[in-house]
Amino acid sequence: MADLLIRNATLPDGRTGVDVLAADGRIVNVARAIDAAAATTVDAGGRLLTPPFVDAHFHLDSTLTYGLPRVNESGTLLEGIALWGELKPQLMQDAVVERALAYCDWAVGRGLLAIRSHVDVCDPRLLAVEALLHVREKVKPYLDLQLVAFPQDGVLRSKGALDNLKRALAMGVDVVGGIPHFERTMGDGARSVRVLCEIAAEEGRLVDMHCDETDDPHSRHIETLALETERLGLQGRVTGSHLTSMHSMDNYYVSKLIPLIVEAGVSAVANPLINIAIQGRHDTYPKRRGMTRVPELMAAGVTVAFGHDCVMDPWYALGSADMLEVAAMGLHVAHMTSQAEMRACFDAVTVNAARILHLDGYGIAPGRRADFVLLQARDPVEALRLRATRLMVFRGGRLVAESPPAVATLHLDGRPPRVDWTRPA
Ligand SMILES: [Zn+2]
């Protein structure tokens, strides 16, 4: 007998009345009216069953440190980096582990079962690296954690950072990171991209750089990143995170840049909550939004994901591992309000992000891992509108989290007693 049978689900691609059968941690059948029995049967009642949420860009070493040792008063990226620099020498490994595990619990409760986290390698103790490697093992049964060796203070600018980064990779960190716009000059930024891509090519690693996270329209490291990707044969393995300078760039230049990004097979991650909060801080009015050109990149065929980036840390005071909140902010900032565009924003926190992480066995199809989330919503657009409750979260066919449906009990004469904000049938 199979382990789990979900009856009458709606899938993100629009299929309705679908049953999903799982055994030994894998999906064995996805069809209407499956004739089989299982140890556990769940009636989805026509609600949306989605593959888990995936966060393509996060910082698990700084999460939940908000207020330590003080808060970011200016709200800028640069004060955030300075503040993190104050906190770094005081970090204790146990505390980093504890906070990261607490965040992973939040994530599982929200149906977020895969996270790519950058980890700062500029502290020569590599204390955060050790902490997050430990966390990666600890959460493995229920959450895929991918780590990026991230030289927060600049791989060339910060003494010893290049060696630290290589040590972190040798210790088991997965992906090569970078931050070219924080190097001292444009030239150094370009050189850092070259050096880091060469390391990735030699070691067969993926690349994910914080790239052009600035309002400066002349910050063009994404161009170098795309060119180096092509030169080194890294197509499909490289991601540019943030790319906020593209918001402010000259349109003619962008018309030449996007085809280069496509040609190089470079993916993009926008971080809507952080980009809208941090960018444009030097503007008076009008204030720029500062998020990269998401619909234009998607239309050209670039894989674009939305990341959460920060939760309660030196850069951002809010957040709760809710990728629907991230996607909802993304669609507002990018004016992506048509039905197709809103669905694309849902993809940006599920299937697109999974592609960027090169996640194995992702998706609701036979042979894939039995990971999925039952939402209190009828379709992806309703899920975004309601930041829908994750009724049940499954990992390998096993229930790992559940939440009661969000409802209000009304005390109004002549009205139905309960309201749940889903679209009336
Ligand atoms: Zn980041």
Burial of 328 per CB tally in 10 Å (0-12, 13-18, 19+): buried
Residue partners of 175: CB distance under 8 A and separation at least 6 = 116, 146, 147, 148, 149, 205, 206, 207, 208
Report phi then psi at 410, rounded to 5: -90, 145
Q: How many residues does the chain have?
A: 425
**CA 344 to centroid of ligand 1, rounded, Å:** 22
pLDDT value, residue 104: 98
pLDDT tens string, the chain, 425 residues long: the values are: 899 999 999 999 999 999 999 999 999 999 999 999 999 999 999 999 999 999 999 999 999 999 998 999 998 988 998 999 999 888 999 999 999 999 999 999 999 999 999 999 999 999 999 999 999 999 999 999 999 999 999 999 999 999 999 999 999 999 999 999 999 999 999 999 999 999 999 999 999 999 999 999 999 999 999 999 999 999 999 999 999 999 999 999 999 999 999 999 999 999 999 999 999 999 999 999 999 999 999 999 999 999 999 999 999 999 999 999 999 999 999 999 999 999 999 999 999 999 999 999 999 999 999 999 999 999 999 999 999 999 999 999 999 999 999 999 999 988 888 999 998 87
**CA 374 to centroid of ligand 1, rounded, Å:** 29
Euclidean distance between CA atoms 378 and 382, whole angstroms: 6
Active site members = 213
Euclidean distance between CA atoms 219 and 249, whole angstroms: 9
DSSP string, 59-95: ETTTTT-TTSS---SS--HHHHHHHHHHHGGG--HHH
Euclidean distance between CA atoms 287 and 274, whole angstroms: 15
Contact 34, 70 (CB under 8 A): no
Euclidean distance between CA atoms 261 and 278, whole angstroms: 25
Strand, coil or helix: what is 94? Answer: helix
DSSP string, 309-339: B-SSBTTBS---S-HHHHHHHHHHHTT--SH
pLDDT value, residue 69: 87
Euclidean distance between CA atoms 16 and 31, whole angstroms: 10
pLDDT value, residue 423: 86
The CB density around residue 262, as the number of other CB atoms within 10 Å, is 14
Report phi then psi at 56, rounded to 5: -85, -5
**CA 119 to centroid of ligand 1, rounded, Å:** 9
Burial of 414 per CB tally in 10 Å (0-12, 13-18, 19+): exposed
Euclidean distance between CA atoms 219 and 35, whole angstroms: 58
Euclidean distance between CA atoms 292 and 295, whole angstroms: 9
For residue range 342-389, what is the model confidence (pLDDT) as tens digits?
A: 999 999 999 999 999 999 999 999 999 999 999 999 999 999 999 999
Which contiguous run of DSSP H or E holds residue 392?
Answer: strand 390-395
Residues with CB under 5 A from ligand 1 (ion): 309
**CA 393 to centroid of ligand 1, rounded, Å:** 27
**CA 20 to centroid of ligand 1, rounded, Å:** 36
Burial of 284 per CB tally in 10 Å (0-12, 13-18, 19+): exposed
What pTM does this model have? 0.97
For residue range 207-237, what is the model confidence (pLDDT) as tens digits?
A: 999 999 999 999 999 999 999 999 999 999 9
pLDDT value, residue 362: 98
Euclidean distance between CA atoms 226 and 234, whole angstroms: 9
Supply the angle between the helices 161-171 and 127-139 in degrees, to the nearest 10.
Answer: 20
E-assigned strand segments in 129-184: 144-150, 175-176
Which contiguous run of DSSP H or E holds residue 135?
Answer: helix 127-139
Residue partners of 273: CB distance under 8 A and separation at least 6 = 308, 309, 310, 316, 318, 319, 325, 326, 329
**CA 305 to centroid of ligand 1, rounded, Å:** 13
Tokens of 184: 């001292």
Strand, coil or helix: what is 249? Answer: coil
pLDDT value, residue 424: 80
